[in-house]
Structure formats: structure tokens, C-alpha cells
Amino acid sequence: MALSAVKNCLVYSKAIGSKSLFYKTTKSLISYGVQNSKVSNRSLYNLSHYKSARHLNSMVAKNALPYKCMCSYVHTKGDQELAAFLTDEIKNEKQTHASDVLPKLEGYECNLNGSDVELTKKLNGETITITANVNDSVDAEETAMDPNESKEPQDAEMKSKPDFTISILKGKKTLRFECSYSHDLPEEDAEAYNDSFQIAEIALFEGESNESTYCVSGDIMDGYLYDLLMNYLEERGISNEFADQLIAFFTQYEHQLYVNFLQGMKTFVEK
């Protein structure tokens, strides 16, 4: 390290035209013991920085001297602990999901862009597009404990259940359904409400929608009309079973993004 420091000092002292800097610094290193010297390259750079950085750069360019920043990132104890945790977390997540292959959704073309998901298919002259964003979509499904068993229930299974939009294009007009998955239904309503997802809002428009597009909330919609619209979607393959397939797709894709995020953060911390 000391020999490298002397070389660096020589380079910088030449760049700024200060021979005395080299002799003084070298003498200082020898007096303290070159082998035991803890003088760093960064310290020598600071000592040689008598003139402005702009002047030093011009001198380096003029004399074609090799100039290389000797700075480096310092890894703290916290950095090391975080990197170690991320290593274990990545390993555990990969073991939890053995396969990285996304489930196939029959008939749909898939377009993925970051957290955005777009599924498209054509059916009987209609174009059906399903869009969703998997950010903040993971929901823990707790396993109910059998009263006859003394063991505690297993860890909750993490599933991605984002809100999603179904757009059905026919000609120039689009019938759009804003949908969400059913969460935490009261026990008294569980038997009467068997749908995996619900229509939150519906709109009909030509071209592109905007803030002035009229929308109808599913909460205030006539019950019979609501059922007919659910049947309308089911006839196009968007049934409860398909909604469950979407959950599997969203969950797998969100997990891929999560593992990639962990790997990226680990690389960032270790850099």
C-alpha cells in the first residue's frame, strides 16, 4: 500500500509541478516506517490538492499523465449484515418457488413491462384486454386452524391479487369493467357470494376514455343487471376459474419481480 502511495504522490506532484511535495511526503513515509505506514491514496490526493481541481485536470491532460480516482465505497457493518440477509432471503425465496415459468393463460398474448401486465386475445370479432399492476398486490391467505388439532396453522400463503381492468373492444366502442378480488367476506355472506372477483365499476365509451366518461358503480347497480354482466364475462371465458388462474399468474410474476429486486439491491449494497 505504501509503495502504491508513493507512486501516486509522484504522479500528482508532477501534475501540479511541486517536487517538494514528493520529497516531503516520501520522507514522511520513511520516517514513520514505510511498511507500517497507513497513509492512504486518498490522503495523498488531499495533500497534493494545493491547486484547483480544474487546474490539476488541465495539467494531467497536458502532460498525458495517467489519472485514476483511487476512491472506493466503504462497506459498513450494516452493509455487510444487509448483504448477508439478502443472500439468505434470495435463497429462501427461490426454494419457495421452485419454478420461474409463468402459468399459461390459454388464448392470451402476454405483454409484461415492469409491474404492468397486459393480456390480450381476440374472440368472435371482439378484442379482450386485461390489464393489471402487481405493485402492492400481495395478500396473505391465512390457513384456518382445525379446532381438533393442537398444532398451530402453517404460515400464510402469499398471493398476488391486484385490481384488474377488462376491456372489450367491439368496433369503435369499448365496454370496460373495473374489477377486484373478493376479500374478507362476512361468514353470513360467504355462501350467497361465490364469485372470486367482483365488478367495481363499468363504463362504455368510444375511442379513449377520459375524466368526463360516465361510469356506473357496481355497488349501486341493479342486482339482476350485475348478474347478467357477470354471465356476459363468463361467456367470454372470464369465469371464477379463470380469475383463480389469473391469481396464479400474478403471484408467480410478482415473485419474479421480488427476487430480481432482492438481487439488484444485494448488488447495489455490495458494490
Cβ partners under 8 Å of residue 220, min gap 6: none
Domain assignment present for residue 205? The answer is yes
Question: CA nearest 237: which of 161, 168, 172?
Answer: 168
Whole-number pLDDT of residue 45? 43
Within a domain: residue 198? yes
pTM (two decimals): 0.68
Helices 2-16/19-32 angle, 10° precision: 160
Overall size of the chain counted in residues: 271
- Give the other-Cβ count within 10 Å of 221's Cβ: 15
Euclidean distance between CA atoms 194 and 188, whole angstroms: 12
Position of cell 349501486? 220
The identity of residue 101, as a single letter, is: V
**Which pLDDT belongs to residue 21?**
46
pLDDT at 97: 78
Q: Is 127 among the domain residues? A: yes
Q: What is the pLDDT of residue 204?
A: 97
SS3 content of the chain, % helix, strand, coil (to 5): 40, 20, 35
Angle subtended at Cα 147 by Cα 144 and Cα 152, rounded to the nearest 5 degrees: 60
Contact predicate 11/28, CB 8 Å: no
CATH, residue 208: 3.10.280.10
Domain housing 212 = 109-138+157-183+194-261
pLDDT at 96: 82
Question: Per-residue pLDDT for the chain (271 aa), expressed as one digit of tens each?
Answer: 445 544 554 544 454 454 444 444 444 544 444 444 444 444 444 444 444 444 444 544 445 444 445 455 668 999 999 999 999 999 999 888 767 789 999 999 999 999 999 999 999 999 999 999 999 999 876 555 555 655 555 567 889 999 999 999 999 999 999 999 987 555 545 455 689 999 999 999 999 999 999 999 999 999 999 999 999 999 999 999 999 999 999 999 999 999 999 999 999 999 8
Asked if the structure places residue 44 within a domain, the reply is no
- pLDDT, residue 194, reads 80
Cell of 147: 379446532
| Cβ contact 162:197 at 8 Å | no
Residue 218 resides in a domain: yes
Decide if 103 is inside a domain.
no
How many domains are there within the chain? 1
Predicted local confidence at residue 147, as pLDDT: 55
Q: For residue 249, which of 38, 34, 40, 101 has the smallest C-alpha distance?
A: 101
Helix 77-96, helix 240-270: angle, nearest 10: 150
Task: Show contacts of 84-88: CB within 8 Å, 24+ apart.
Answer: 86/262, 86/265, 86/266, 86/269, 87/266
Residue at 99 is within a domain = no
> In this structure, is residue 215 part of a structural domain?
yes
Q: Where are the beta strands (DSSP E) in the chain?
A: 109-113, 116-123, 126-133, 138-141, 157-160, 164-170, 173-181, 197-206, 215-217
Could you identify the residue written with the cell 400481495? 138
